[in-house]
Amino acid sequence: MKNKMILKRILTCFGLLLLGTGIGRTEETKTARIVFDHYTYDFGEIRETDGDVSHTFRFTNEGDLPLVINSVGVSCGCTTPQFDRAPLLPGRTAEMKITFDPTNRPGRFEKVIHILCNDPRRTVRLTITGNVIPKPRTLQDDYPYYLGEGLRIADRNLTLGMLPHGKTVVRSVGIANAGKKTIRIETTGRSLPAYVTVRPKKSQLAPGERSEIELTFRAPEEVWGRQQGSFELSADHRPLLDPVEWTVIFTEDFGALSRTTLQIAPQAEYSSSFYHFSDQPQGKTLTREFQITNTGRKDLIIRHIGTTDNRLRVTADKTVIARDDTATLTVKWDTTDKQGRISAGITIVTNDPGRPAQEIRLQARMVE
Q: What is the pLDDT of residues 143-167, one digit of tens each?
A: 999 999 999 999 999 999 999 988 9
122 pLDDT more than 70: yes
pLDDT (average), residues 311-315: 96
Strands (E), 88-224: 93-100, 107-117, 123-133, 145-148, 151-153, 157-164, 169-177, 183-188, 196-200, 204-205, 210-217
- Buried residues in 37-68 as b, exposed as e (16+ CB within 10 A): eeeebebeebebeeeebebebebbbebebebb
320 pLDDT more than 80: yes
Write out pLDDT tens, residues 272-299: 999 999 899 988 999 999 999 999 999 9
18 pLDDT more than 90: no
Write out pLDDT tens, residues 191-215: 789 999 999 999 999 999 999 999 9
185 pLDDT more than 80: yes
pLDDT (average), residues 116-132: 94
SS3 125: strand
Q: Which helix (H) or strand (E) holds 105?
A: none
What average pLDDT does the structure give for the chain? 90
Write out pLDDT tens, residues 22-45: 444 455 689 999 999 999 999 999
| Confidence (pLDDT) at 19 | 46
Residue 252 to residue 130: CA distance in whole angstroms: 46
Distant-in-sequence, close-in-space partners of 27: CB < 8 Å, separation ≥ 6: none
Write out pLDDT tens, residues 334-343: 999 899 999 9
- Per DSSP, 338 falls in state -
CA Rg, the chain, in Å?
33
pLDDT (average), residues 125-149: 92
Q: How confident is the model at residue 137 (pLDDT cuts 50, 70, 90)?
A: confident
3 pLDDT more than 90: no
Beta-bridge partner residues of 36: 59
- Compute how many other C-beta atoms are within 10 angstroms of the C-beta atom of residue 173: 19
